[in-house]
Amino acid sequence: MGKAESSDPELLKQLHPRFAELKAFHGIEDEKPTSRMSGPQKMASGLISITLKCVGPSMGEKQPLTKKLPPATTVGKLKSLCESFFKLKDIKLRLFLEEEQGCPLPQLLEEETASLVELGIGTGATIIVDEES
């Protein structure tokens, strides 16, 4: 049944006389109107915005980047993305979470399989990209 048929209940009853009876028998509810937000907009609303700062001495001076990423992005995937964003080749990276006010040392992100959300990283966080010594 198409959407054009379902918009007119009289036409629906005429074309499919047992539809209401069968719908009640099988416990099927009416279609809920879809929200106006489509797939890409829903996905975009679930992304977190993080700032990446590249600070390694051999990496050169690079401007900080702000990127929107899915919360399920792992530390390992983020390292790969940083290599691509900053055009770093043959450099082993270490990532640090720059803590909010009050903590002078950044927190090392060493668990490759941990996702950003598992580590408590949300919108507005700053990740420091450094090279392994």
pLDDT, position 44: 67
Count how many Cα atoms sit within 13 Å of the Cα of residue 22 in the half-sphere of its side chain.
Answer: 5
Reported CATH class of domain 45-131 = alpha beta
Q: Could you give the residue range(s) of every CATH 3.10.20.90 domain in the chain?
A: 45-131
pLDDT, position 61: 77
pLDDT, position 56: 79
Give CA separation, 2 vs 8, 31, 97, in Å. Answer: 11, 12, 51
* Inter-residue contact 87 to 60 (CB < 8 Å): no
Report the chain (133 residues): mean pLDDT per 10 consecutive residues.
61 86 80 58 79 84 90 94 88 88 82 92 91 82
Q: State the maximum Cα–Cα separation within the chain, in Å, rounded to a whole number.
A: 77
pLDDT, position 74: 95
Count how many Cα atoms sit within 13 Å of the Cα of residue 81 in the half-sphere of its side chain.
Answer: 18
Pairing of the two strands 126-131 and 48-54: parallel
